[in-house]
Chains A and B, each alone.
Chain A
């Protein structure tokens, strides 16, 4: 595709419900990244995929968070039993080669999650 796309753009859910966020990276990009951005704050790294595997899951805040990537393309970030502190914008990025030290990451527009 022309750029990274994410869906939904906005999600409002009730505390305790599960949510799934989707990311479609740029076609052909090897690496995919998930970040979280709370209101007025910087980016918080969550997880990084190289192909379908995740060499770095260090940023996942709790075991309620999980992510998968299939076919080396689309990724879903799942948050189980959502809490109010999960409310944030979840950003996805992709890069061509997956070499963290030299790759430019291209970001999607984000999914704004609001947990009531």
Chain B
């Protein structure tokens, strides 16, 4: 596997606003994508996944959008809460290979 982007951008949003976190992946053979949330001092936690035969998948307050044409993945969080503050990053899985997208630090302003 490889990691893409080692410098974390920061997204600041007001509480109750919607958040959109983006991820660009490079492996065109990727067919499975996962969003993880990592709170300070903890290991990454699974949020939602999507397969390459889908463009959109919804969970509880979260939606993942996949654009295979431009190799772009996004995570939308509705009504962002202070507890959503964390680093978010995507994983793209292809044959015998995993690639991590650039992590994004989400800061929720009360």
Contacts and interface: CB of A to CB of B under 8 A. Distances in A.
Interface residues of B, number: 31
Contacts of A109: 42-43
Nearest to B31: A101
Interface in B54-110: 89, 91, 93-98, 100, 102-103
B3 A42 contact: yes
A106 B38 CA distance: 12
Interface in B18-69: 30-32, 34, 36, 42-46, 49, 51
A110 interface: yes
Contacts of A105: 34, 46, 91, 98
Contact of A48 (B1, B30, B32, B49): B1
B93 A102 contact: yes
A56 interface: yes
B31 A102 contact: yes
A55 B96 contact: yes
12 contacts: A33-B98, A41-B7, A41-B8, A42-B89, A45-B2, A45-B3, A58-B1, A93-B43, A102-B31, A104-B49, A105-B34, A107-B45
Interface of B: 1-8, 30-32, 34, 36, 42-46, 49, 51, 89, 91, 93-98, 100, 102-103
Q: List the 4 shortest-distance A-B pairs measured between CB atoms, nearest first.
A: A45-B1, A107-B43, A101-B93, A41-B6
Interface of A: 4, 33, 38, 40-45, 48, 55-56, 58-59, 91, 93, 100-110
